[in-house]
Every structure is written in structure tokens, then in C-alpha cells.
Amino acid sequence: MAATELSFYDRISDALAKPEGQLAISAGAKAKYDNRARAMSEFPSMEITRDRARSIRAHTLSQLDKFLAEFADNVEALGGHIFWAKDAQECNQYINEIARAKDVQLVAKAKSMLTEEISLNQSLETSGIDVVETDLGEFIVQLSGDKPSHIIAPILHMTREDVGNVFNEKLNVPFSDDPATLNAIARTHMREIFLKADMGISGVNFGVSESGAICLVTNEGNGRLISTAPRIHVAVMGMERLVPTLGDLSIMLQLLARSATGQKLTAYSSILCGPRRKNEHDGPEELHIVILDNGRSEILGSALSEILYCIRCGACLNACPVFHSIGGHAYGSVYPGPVGSVLSPLLFGDPWNPLPHASSLCGACKEVCPVNIDLPGLLLESRSQQIAKGKSPLLMRLSQWIYAITSCNPILFGLALRSGQVVSRLLAHDGWFTTLPGPLQGWSVHRDFPALAKKSFRQLWDKPSQD
Amino acid sequence: MKRAHFLQKVSSAIGNRTLPDQDETSTRQNTPTTADLQTLINKFIEEANAVKAETHLANDDEVAFEMVMQLLNNQTNNKYMSWDDNCLPIKNLGQRLDSVDYLRYQSTVPRDTTERTRAHIKLAEVSVGITGCNAALADTGSIVLESKPGQGRLSSLLPAIHIALLTTDQIYPTMESYIKSQPESGYNSSNLIIVTGPSRTADITQTLTLGVHGPGKLHIIIIDK
Amino acid sequence: MTKIKKSIVQLLVTCMVDAIRPQVGTAVKTILNNNGCEVGFPKQQTCCGQPAFNAGFLKQARAMARHTIDVFTNTSGPVVVPSGSCTDMIVHHYPELLKSDPVYSSKAKSLSKRTYEFTQFLVDKLGLTNVGAKYNGKATYHPCCHGLRNLNLVEQPSTLLDNVEDLEQVALPCAEECCGFGGLFSVRMSEISGAMLEKKLSNVEESGADVLIAGDVGCIIHMEGSLRRKGSNIQVKHIAEILNGCD
């Protein structure tokens, strides 16, 4: 993924300057947050299931090599093809090669953040292949040349008027802002794509190693269509997305649906075991599963490996007050929100280093995570790794040292307090500073800062009578 | 990249950092109480209706057949596609429908590329798909379909209306209990599908709309024999 | 008022209270004294190191953690802190930060075990539900994040506030949403912090309260600083100030 020209700070300013977009985002995220809360509260033994899910993820990752090998063997035994891709380039090249060899003209795609991560669409389009996103939200994103702003709800940032305008302009249909009408237009338009596509491309929600199955969940049914109608189905799977057994899958599916949208189950959970078999009515003739590393093995070996537990439900985005304020686009990554703030610097490098700092560490994300990932802990870990590598401004390092030296020496600390009191007496008005100097002015842009008390607590302790 | 090389990278990453292996705790034990059949049926109906599937209770094959006829009668055209007769719980359903002038479309899609697209386009004319079920899950209101010979995927996917025929003995309390009693279901079929209500989206401003790409109507006829 | 046997507690007042809002420390001391506790204040105490820790400066955070541990290791009795955030730092992060330190890992654990947030101490350790406070006002309570999520401070502050005489309480919409303080976050990501603050304050206004109560001085000055700039009449108080009955 390429860094955008704007810095993170510029993107934040841009986002905050668009109140309608922000309103749509925070209302949408809030609705999803409430739906999740309701669905979870109705879930018997929710905490036990959550612990169980976490332990399944931990267990899988602790023996991921074994489970991957078992998964691949089973896929091949079912007549599917496995391709092991080190990075985006290897993955995209492989899919391009199949497309060329099989004379693929039209690709129907189900929503997949992983394929966004590796810019697969652009790669195929460069080879002259038509790629159509079939998830309604993702289709609108594609039509308008936009980017998804949420991993589950790609057009969370758009109002219904926005969508109406996109359809009106790009599909030459009369303007309507009625969701049902817009949906009907999309259904008709997309029908032909499904029927004619030569290749369906999807991500993988979960792979099941004991059977070699992959599971796709969609509410719209596009995941089923692209894995049924086209003669070739290509599924791109992040290497961490395995569960050992079908029983484990059933736990994950329930948590995923409840966490993502508040449903008990997604409308369609499609568990695919190899390509079309003998005497079957339909299904793809070929199934290719690309297992992608793209930096994940490095994460697996690092102190941030817990982020690989993530099942991409988006609940942490919906709970995050920072996400509510700035929306998904400001993060500049396919993975926004708390999970994206941990993942993006790991997957895409230094330009994303400010992301982990964009958190007040309020912990709302951890509270809702279906596999109980310690997101605030990982954000802290990510910050400290940056500091350990010297990736922080000199002024920051200097001030942290001065602050630490002062705080480790009570005499210096007392002196600092007294000098603060002198400065307060001289410069504060009516007990408050209205502007702060240098790097501290970020504070005073939004609020006043209190003057130091005339007598500190330690001074009052000595002479309480002066209170 | 070679498989061995890929897996080698993964193993050394795991070795680098001993990850906690927390499995085998088997903490989860929400084993459903063995509810009586009527409770199961009621629960299934309640949950299926909650996800906007329409349920119909039939005491026997004849009543079920009448219901299918009625649902077909409401359509503008007489075309339908379905699973093979021997995979449906109503005896000779296809034959009987043919005899009253309903037109069953051939649902087997050719393997050849051009023929395949042509078959798809023809099947798109069909307004109703009829299938059986392999199981149903009461606590989520879901039906479970296996794709195998005689049981195509498109019948429950392409038409705007999906009629699913379910017998009461197929209802399990939960997904866990179903998997426990049918562990082979995860291998036996090239596509095990768990359907929970009709196709839906809330992508546009969180407004629920039905029938995006899959059927917008799901009728489940529950046959209590 | 319940009198229990005279016991000694140590006050970790926090650097913010010490420098900016000493009246919170005084209130804590008074309430503890009134409830049978003798209060010690080890004067070598400075800052717990959380700002360094949250910014990722672990070396500095460790140094401050060791200093704080040294200061309190030489004292006896429970350590009481009028801040959920600093309590969380000591209770949860000190043991983690120093887990491979041969000298300090066990000391960190034992300090962690005897450290309590102020309301937690009153309710869970002293068994109090009513401290005999009186406060005339219409109040709403903002649960600060670290106390709420990491220490589960829900019942304790609400029980104590429910029993304050004359205090009318009104609900704060979206109470559990962060106010946007986050320490250095409020300076480094000031635009986001400012947007979160705006949202919080509009909820506070919607509540109709004339006094906003919270348990962390960091969040308090953040919200108060903005209310002041807007010229609002809403007061912001630390829960200890309310419980001390200072009208």
C-alpha cells in the first residue's frame, strides 16, 4: 500500500472539516455498537464463549505451521489448488497468470479487505481484466472511485443522497435516495455480472484445517454467487485465518455475526470444500486458494502477535471514540480503527507510525473485541517499539528525560513545582493560561490550562494552617 | 513461494516467541438441554421469523404440496428450478408440478465455458427455487443445505423466491449440536450452506433492505409428519 | 458515621493533585481521617510515570516506577490514590513493566496488591456507603475510562454519590464514552482530542447538570478548561470534593 500524499494530521483536519460525513459515520458506528451490545447481552454464556474463541485463536497460532500444512493437504485432496504467496506481488502475479491462462475477461469479486491490502483490483485492471465489486457498499465505493471507510460497512461515510448521486451519475438511472430502490438497481445491474463472470474472487473468513474447507460469510449472497457461478473461484486467505475444526468454526461464526452487525448469524455462511464434484449440478470447476504471508510471519514472531487473533468483525471501530470522530478514511489504511492502528505500521511501514498514537487508551475496543485482544496494550507496545527504535522527535525524547530525571528526584520535583508556581503567578490570568508555548499549544487550541495552585499539596501538608 | 519455505518461516516465527497454547480447556459447555420437539419447532419459527423468513406449518405432504402450489400461483411466470425429486421431502413434487403446467428448468449447469453462461442466463428467468433442507438450527432460525448430486446450489440462490421444505425431525437446537451429530457434514458436501433469513444489506445508511443478490423472500414450509 | 479501628493508610496524591488541585488531596485526607484512618503522606513521592509509559518511553517509566515503589515500600498500610488512572498504572502496569527486574518485580507486585483507588478503598475496604456528605446541586457523573474499564469502578462511586444529601443526580448521555483526555494524546492529537471533548461536553450540557463529577484530575482539567473558555457555568469537581461536602 502506498502512502497518501497527505500526512495523517492533514487527513484528520480534513475529516473534521466535513461535519455531514462525520455525522453519518458516528451515527452508523453507534448503531452498530448498540446492535452488538444487544446481541451479546442476549447471548447465553457470552463470556465463556469469548474466552473459548480466544483460546482457539491462541491455539491455532501457536501451531500455525502444522495447521497450515494440514489445511493445504486437505484442500489438495479435495481437488483444490494451493498457492503460497510471500507477498502482494507474488499473490497478484499468480492470480494474473491464472486469469491469462484461462482467458478470463470478467471477474466478480466479493468484499475482501485482504485484496484491498494488496491492491489486487488495480493489478488485474492493469492486465485489461474487468473487475466488479459485488458487495453493494463496495460496488458503490468502486463506482465513485472512493475507498472503503470501514471494514464491514464500506460506505459508512456516505449519506443516502451521496449514493443516489453516484448511481445517477455512473449508472445513468434517475436519482433516488431510497435504499430499497437503490438496492433494486444494483441487483439488476449486478445480475449480469454474476452470470457472465469467468472468475470469482473472494477473501476467506475462516479456513478449517481438519477438512480443507473455507468459509465465506455474506449477508447479500454475493459470496455464494461468486463461489458458485463463475467457472473459477480464487480465494485469497491471510495465513492466520485458520481454525482447527468445524466445531471451532461454529463458535467463530456466531461471535463474528454478533460482533459485526448484531445478528445471531450472518444470512449466508457458506462452507466450501473443494471445487464442484462429480454429478453435481453447479459450482466452480476450479478452486484456487492463495495463502498469503505479506508480513504476517514477522508479526507472528513479534510482541504484537496477538493482533493476528483478529477476526475482522469491526466491533473495535464501532466502539472507538477516535473512529467516531475522524472516520475510516483519515487513517489512510484499509484497516482503520484500533485494529488498524496496530496493524498498519506493521504491514505498511513507517508512514503509518502516527496511527498508534491516535488513541486515548480508553479501552472501549478491548471491551467489545470478540476474541478479547488487548488492543490498548498492543497500541502501547507499538508505541514503545517506535521509541526503542529511536523513532520519536528529539524534543519529545529530551522532555521525557528531563521529566523522568525530575520525577526521580524529590528535590528537583519540589523545585519544578515552585518554578511552575512562579510562572503561574506571572503569566496566568485569573488562575488560567489561555495559551501555552511551543509543542504544548495543541492543548490551548481547544481549552485553557489551569495555573498551578498557589500552594501545592506537599506545601499544605507541612503547613495546613495556611490553607 | 515454495510450501516448505513458507512453512519454515512460520515455524521459525513461532519458535521466536513461544505463543500461549490455550486449547483443550473445553471451557465451553453450553450444551443445549434436550428440548422436546414442540419447543424446538416453536423456537425455530420464532427465530426464523425474527430474521424475516416466512414459515408455514404443514401436517402432511398434501398440505405442504398445496402450500407450494399457492406460493407458485402468486408468481407472474410459471418457471421454477429445484432439487431433484428424490432429494425433496414431498413425494414426486416435480412430477406433480409438471402435470399442472409448471415449468421446471434444468438446473444442471454445463461445465463448458460458453454453455455455462448460456445456462446461467436462462436460469435467471426463473422466479422460484424449491429445495429441501439437510438440517435446521432452532436457536438462530437457520436452515442448512448441502450441495451434492441432486441438490444444486443455484436453486436456493438465483431466484427471487426460495421455498425450502423442512421436516420437523431435521431441527437441531444449535449449530454445535448439529455439528456434533453430523460431523461429516463439513466434508461430505462441496458446499455446506447455512441460510439465516433472506438476502439482506444495511450498507446504505444502516437501512435494512432485503433481496440484494440472493432471494429476497424465503419461505420455509415445515412438514410435521 | 461508622467508626472503625484506627488504621494507617498512605496517600499517593498524584502529581496533578499535588500541583494543580491540592484541595482534592485535602478532601481525601479529611474523609479518611473522619472514617478512622490515620493518613500518611510520604513526601518523596513525585509522579507515577504514566505519561512516560503511555508515550512508549518505558525506560523513563521504569525509573519512575522504581522511585515510587521505593517511596512506598518503606511505609505500611494500604496506599490510597484519588485517580483511577494512576491506580491502574500501579496495580496493573508496574508488575508488567518490572517483571524481569530481579529486585523490583516482587516489590512491584506487593505495592500493586495494597494500592486502591479512593472510592474503591472507601467502599470495598472500609465498607462505607455513606460518608455523611452534603452537596446542594444538580450533578452528573462521568466515569473516567481507566477506572471504569480497568478497575471496574461502577458501584463504588455510584453508591457514595447516591448517599450525598441534597445532591440531585441526572444521567449523562453516552456516559461511558471517553472525554478525549488521554494524557499526551490531548496535546499530540489535539484535534481529535478536541472533537471528543466537544462531544462529551455537549452531552454534559444535555444532561442539564450544573456540576460535573469525575474521578481523575487529568480529565477534570481537560473538561474544565474548555467549559471555562466557553464561559459555561458548569462546575467540574473531583468526587472527593463532593464527598467532602464542600458546597
* ipTM here: 0.95
pLDDT value of position B113:
86
pLDDT in tens, A238-260: 999 999 999 999 999 999 999 99
Contact residues on chain B for A291, CB-CB shorter than 8 A: 6
Could you tell me if residue B184 is inside a domain? yes
Q: At residue B217, does pLDDT exceed 80?
A: yes
What residues 167-196 of chain B have any CB closer than 8 A to a CB of chain A? 175-176, 179-180, 183, 185-187, 189-196
pLDDT in tens, C117-168: 999 999 999 999 999 999 999 999 999 999 999 999 999 999 999 999 999 9
Share of chain A above pLDDT 90, in %: 91
Lowest mean pLDDT of A224-228, A463-467, C6-10, name the range.
A463-467
With an 8 Å Cβ cutoff, is B35 touching chain A? no
pLDDT value of position B29:
44
The answer to whether A54 contacts B21, with C-beta atoms less than 8 Å apart, is no
Between B33 and B167, residue with greater pLDDT? B167
What is the mean pLDDT of the segment spanning C219-230? 97
* Spatial separation of the C-alpha atoms in residues C229 and B190, rounded to whole Å: 66
Q: Which of B131, B155, B203 has the most A C-beta neighbours within 10 Å, making it the best mutation to test the interface with A?
A: B203
pLDDT in tens, A133-192: 999 999 999 999 999 999 999 999 999 999 999 999 999 999 999 999 999 999 999 999
A with C: how many residue pairs have Cβ under 8 Å apart?
193
Contact residues on chain B for A59, CB-CB shorter than 8 A: 21-24
Q: At residue A271, does pLDDT exceed 70?
A: yes
Contact residues on chain A for B131, CB-CB shorter than 8 A: none
Other chains touching A, judged by 3 or more CB pairs under 8 Å: B, C
pLDDT value of position A374:
97
Q: At residue B33, does pLDDT exceed 70?
A: no
Residue B62, C-beta contacts closer than 8 angstroms, at least 6 positions apart: none
> φ, ψ for residue A271 (rounded to 5)?
-105, 115
CB-CB: which of A322, A360, A457 is closest to C22? A457
Cα B138 off chain centre by:
14
Share of chain A above pLDDT 70, in %: 98
With an 8 Å Cβ cutoff, is B87 touching chain A? no
Could you tell me if residue B91 is inside a domain? yes
Task: Report residue A43's pLDDT band, with 50, 70 and 90 as the boundaries.
Answer: confident
pLDDT in tens, C6-50: 799 999 999 999 999 999 999 999 999 999 999 999 999 999 999
CB-facing half-sphere around the CA of A388: CA atoms within 13 A? 9
Could you tell me if residue B127 is inside a domain? yes
CATH of residue B68's domain is 3.40.50.10420
The answer to whether A447 contacts C229, with C-beta atoms less than 8 Å apart, is yes
What residues 192-221 of chain B have any CB closer than 8 A to a CB of chain A? 192-207, 209, 211-215
The answer to whether C146 contacts A450, with C-beta atoms less than 8 Å apart, is no
Lowest mean pLDDT of A60-69, A392-401, B82-91, C205-214, name the range.
A392-401
pLDDT in tens, C143-153: 999 999 999 99
Could you tell me if residue B73 is inside a domain? yes
pLDDT value of position B31:
47
Task: Report residue A439's pLDDT band, with 50, 70 and 90 as the boundaries.
Answer: confident
Task: Report residue B183's pLDDT band, with 50, 70 and 90 as the boundaries.
Answer: confident
What residues 124-153 of chain A have any CB closer than 8 A to a CB of chain B? 134-137, 140, 153
Distance from CA of C194 to the nearest CA of A (A): 6
pLDDT value of position A67:
98
pLDDT value of position A237:
98
Residues A87, A88, A93, A96: is their CA dihedral positive or negative? positive
pLDDT value of position A78:
96
pLDDT value of position B22:
59
The answer to whether A85 contacts B1, with C-beta atoms less than 8 Å apart, is yes
Parent domain of B60: 36-223
Q: At residue B25, does pLDDT exceed 90?
A: no
Contact residues on chain A for C180, CB-CB shorter than 8 A: 321, 360
Tell me how crowded residue A76 is: count the other CB atoms within 10 A of its CB: 14
Q: Are B149 and B160 in contact (CB under 8 A)?
A: no
What is the mean pLDDT of the segment spanning A425-452? 93
Cell of C235: 462546575
Which residue of chain B is at minimal alpha-carbon distance from A179?
B204
Q: At residue A3, does pLDDT exceed 70?
A: no
Q: Which of A89, A183, A193 has the most B C-beta neighbours within 10 Å, making it the best mutation to test the interface with B?
A: A183
Average pLDDT across chain A, whole number: 94
pLDDT value of position A46:
87
The answer to whether C176 contacts A439, with C-beta atoms less than 8 Å apart, is no
Average pLDDT across chain C, whole number: 95
pLDDT value of position B5:
96
CB-CB: which of A358, A406, A452 is closest to C20? A452
State the total domains in chain B.
1
pLDDT value of position C246:
53
Task: Report residue A467's pLDDT band, with 50, 70 and 90 as the boundaries.
Answer: very low
pLDDT value of position C1:
45
Q: For residue B135, give the nearest of B172, B165, B162 by alpha carbon.
A: B172
* Spatial separation of the C-alpha atoms in residues A138 and A129, rounded to whole Å: 18
CB-facing half-sphere around the CA of B69: CA atoms within 13 A? 15
Q: Are C238 and C217 in contact (CB under 8 A)?
A: yes
Q: Do B and A count as touching (3 or more CB pairs closer than 8 A)?
A: yes
The answer to whether B196 contacts A69, with C-beta atoms less than 8 Å apart, is no
Distance from CA of C63 to the nearest CA of A (A): 7
Which numeric CATH code is attached to A43-294?
Answer: 3.40.50.10420
Average pLDDT across chain B, whole number: 91
Task: Report residue C182's pLDDT band, with 50, 70 and 90 as the boundaries.
Answer: very high
The answer to whether A442 contacts C186, with C-beta atoms less than 8 Å apart, is yes
Domains of chain C, earliest start first: 7-124 (3.40.50), 132-243 (3.40.50)
pLDDT value of position B27:
42
Could you tell me if residue B216 is inside a domain? yes
Q: At residue A464, does pLDDT exceed 80?
A: no
Could you tell me if residue B16 is inside a domain? no
Could you tell me if residue B167 is inside a domain? yes
Distance from CA of C15 to the nearest CA of A (A): 9
* Spatial separation of the C-alpha atoms in residues A323 and A314, rounded to whole Å: 11
Residue A414, C-beta contacts closer than 8 angstroms, at least 6 positions apart: A458
- Using DSSP's 3-state secondary structure scheme, residue B82 falls into strand
Could you tell me if residue B29 is inside a domain? no
The answer to whether A401 contacts C60, with C-beta atoms less than 8 Å apart, is yes
In Å, what is the CA distance from B122 to each residue of A280, B71, B104, B158, C84? Answer: 19, 22, 12, 11, 67
pLDDT in tens, A60-115: 999 999 999 999 999 999 999 999 999 999 999 999 999 999 999 999 999 999 99
